[in-house]
Structure 1
Amino acid sequence: MTRSRCARRERPQPFAVSGVITLLFLASVYVWTSVLSPEGRIAAVTSIGVRDHCASGWVVPDAGDAPIPMAGRPSGSVLGSGGTVTVTVRGLTGGAIVLDQPVVEVVSRRTALPGVFLPVPCDPAPVSGVLTVDLDEPTAVLGPDGAPADFPYRVTGTAPDRFVIRPVSTTDDVEWRLRVPWRSGVGAGELVVDDDGTPLRTTATSAARPFCVEQPDSARWVSCGIG
C-alpha cells in the first residue's frame, strides 16, 4: 500500500503521548487541539489557522473601524473559507496503521457569518499538496479539487504524518467534523477530528465587510478607508 501523493507531508515537530497528547509546536498556527482514539492506538492533533495563503483570514464581530492588532488569532473569530485545518496523526503502538477515506460530517449549516473579514498577508510561496473540502456540496468529499483523495494511507510506526486540509464555502457558515476510519493488524476504529470536542467551523466571507492589512508594517488590520 502506497502513501497518498495528494497529502501534504511536512517534517512535523515531535509530540509525546502519555494517555493524552502533551506537547505539539506548530509555527504560525493559533489554535490546536488533540484527540486520542478510544482504543488507544492512534492519536491526532488538529490545528486551525491560516498559513502561507492570502485568500483567507478570519471573520470577527463588527465593532466599528478601530484597528485590530495582528497578533495571533483575533478574539471571537471564525475561520474564513480557504483557511487551513492541519491534522497531525501518529500511531501509538509502533505497528503500521491504515487510514481509510475520511468522511466529512456536516453538523450544521447557516447563512454566511456577518461581521468584519480580516485577510491574512499574502505569502509568495503558498502551501502545496492541500486536500480541499467543498462544504457547499450536499456530500462533501476530502481530496484535491473536490476529487477523492488517494486513500487508504499507511501511517508507519510512531512517526507523525501531517495532512493540510482547506475547507471552503462560498455561501454558508458550516460546522463540521472529520471522521477517519483506521485499521491495524490488531484492531480497527474511528478517529474523530474536531475542535477540542466541538465541531470545526468555517464561514464564507461574503457577508462580512473587508478590512485591509495596514501597510507597510502589516502589524494591524485597519478599515480599508484608513492608512
Structure 2
Amino acid sequence: MATSTAGDPGREQHEPFAVSGVIAVLFLASACVWASVLAPEGAVAAVTSIGVRDHCASGWVVPDTGDAPIPMAGRPSGSVLGSGGAVTVTVRGLTGDEIVLGPPVVEVVSRRPALPGVFLPAPCDAALPPGFLTADLDRPTVLLAPDGEPAEFPYQVTGTEPDQIVIRPVSTTDDVEWRLRIPWTSGVGTGELVVDDDGTPLRTTATSAARPFCVELPDSSRWVSCRSG
C-alpha cells in the first residue's frame, strides 16, 4: 500500500490525503494472487507487487509444520518474503500534471533475528527483471543502488506514462520490517509517497535460520522436504 502527504506551495500547512492502491502479485511459477485495489485520491498513487523472482535464491519462509508437501498455489499461508525477492512499485500521476519522483528512502521499522521455519525457494526460471535497485537491509542506513552504482533519479510519471521502481531487499542476518518513502513534486505541490504492504510494513527475512525445502521436479507444482528424498 502507499499513502501520501502533500502541500500546496503557497501554504505552510501540509494536508494529508490517501493516494494509494495495492496489488499483491505473488509470483510462484505461473500462479498469481491478486489483492483488491483501493481507489486512490490525490495527485499520485502507487501499486505494489511482492514476489519471489530471484532465480532460486529467494523464496518464502513459513512456519515449520513437518515434512508434508506444500503446493505452489499462490503465496503460502503465514509466509514472509525471503531475502532477494522483489518489491515492484508502479507509480502514476492522478492529475494532468507531470509528477517528478525523487530518490526513494528505505525506512526500517523493526529488526529481529532471522525468522526460523522452512525456506520455500522460487522456481529456478523465476528471474528478477532488469533495472532493479538493491536495498541492503543489513546496513544501519539502508542504501538503494543498482549493483553498487548510484540510482538514476529523478523519474517522471503521468497518468498515461507510469514508471516502475523494482526493489530487491536483501539481508543475511535479520528479519526486517520496512517502508519505502518516495518524495515527489508537481504543478500541484509536493509530497511524499509512503509505500507499504496494504497498511502494514513490508517485511523481508534472511533465510539463514530456516531449513530448506526443494522444488519437486519435473512439474514444479509443489515444495517437498529435501530430506525425504
Q: Same fold (TM over 0.5)?
A: yes
**Equivalence for 2:74:** 72
1:206 — aligned with what?
Answer: 208
1:98 maps to 2:105? no
C-alpha displacement of 1:179: 0.6
The one of 114, 118, 137 aligned to 1:116:
118
Amino acid at match of 1:73: R
Q: 1:149: how far off?
A: 1.1
Residue identity matched to 2:89: V
1:77-156 matched pairs, under 5 angstroms: 77-123=79-125, 126-156=128-158
In the other structure, the counterpart of 1:43 is 45
**C-alpha separation between the residues in 1 aligned to 2:188 and 2:63?**
48
CA-to-partner distance for each residue in 1:123-178, whole Å, 9 max, x for gaps? 17542111110000110012212443111111134322112111000000000000
Letter in 1 for 2:77: S
Cα pair 1:102 1:181 within 8 Å, conserved: yes
CA contact (8 A) 1:33 1:196 kept: no
42-51 vs 142-151, which moves further: 142-151
The whole-number CA distance in structure 2 between the counterparts of 1:124 and 1:72 is 14
Matched, 1:176 2:178: yes
The amino acid across from 2:138 in the alignment is: D
> Deviation at 1:226?
2.7
Tell me if the contact between 1:57 and 1:80 (Cα under 8 Å) persists in the aligned partners.
Answer: yes
Shift of 1:54: 2.1
Q: TM-score, normalised by structure 2?
A: 0.82
String of CA shifts for 1:73-122, please: whole Å, max 9, x gaps.
Answer: 00000000001101011100021111111111000000000000000111
Question: Gaps spanning 5+ residues in structure 2: where?
Answer: 1-17
Structure 1: which amino acid aligns with 2:208? S
Which blocks of at least 5 consecutive residues in structure 1 are unaligned?
1-18
Aligned residues, how many? 208
**Alpha carbons 2:64, 2:117 under 8 Å: kept:** yes
* 4+ aligned runs moved over 3 Å, structure 1: 19-38
Instruction: Tell whether the 8 Å contact from 2:67 to 2:224 is kept in structure 1 after alignment.
Output: yes
Query: C-alpha offsets along residues 195-225 of structure 1, whole Å, 9 cap, x if unaligned?
Result: 0111000000000000000111111100002
Corresponding residue SS for 1:55? coil
SS in 1 for 2:67: coil
Give the TM-score normalised by the residue count of structure 1.
0.83
Rounded to whole Å, the distance in 1 between the matches of 2:20 and 2:172 is: 35
Cα distance 1:21–1:194, how it changes in 2: closer, same or farther (>3 A)? closer
Describe the superposition over 1:49-92 as per-residue Cα deviations: whole angstroms up to 9, x where unpaired: 11363210000000000110111100000000001101011100
Do the aligned partners of residues 33 and 130 (structure 1) sit closer, same or farther apart at CA in structure 2, a change above 3 Å counting?
Answer: farther
